[in-house]
Chain A
């Protein structure tokens, strides 16, 4: 089955710096890659997603890139702010499956220091 590896597990940056989180997936048929943000004590929330027919997607300070050949995708956060501090999860969906069986990475705890 699909396996998603996420790195790093923890990331600390200074406010204003950029942060990059990388994920690799094993199933070349995976075609949907969302990113979820979970603030401390809160529920995960979708922040951005990308489909396999797109190489890059941007939404204000966050962007996601996808390299299908290498089977990896990355989350980029620019001009980080303290409120970006959270755990970020990448995920991949198994081809032909429903959204309900998203396979998640183990998460990256991002700390933004003021």
Chain B
């Protein structure tokens, strides 16, 4: 069964550094999402992406964040200058036409 994959599974970085989190959505899906979950808190929506552009973003998704679909398979989330409060689990999700999203296993980002 096709699944969403994410790399790396764990990323440790220093405050102020740039990180890129990578996702490979299910191949025939059209809509892509990033969510994050700070430890012990709820899963929060960051951004949705369709037809090579952002379709919606939350207040969390400020100028430090960007997303890209550089080729036909990858979907990336970049954080330009990480802060301590960016430490969280980041989930990628995708869907085709129905509203059911399929999630990847997540990338745990630790900012020191």
Genuine A/B complex = no
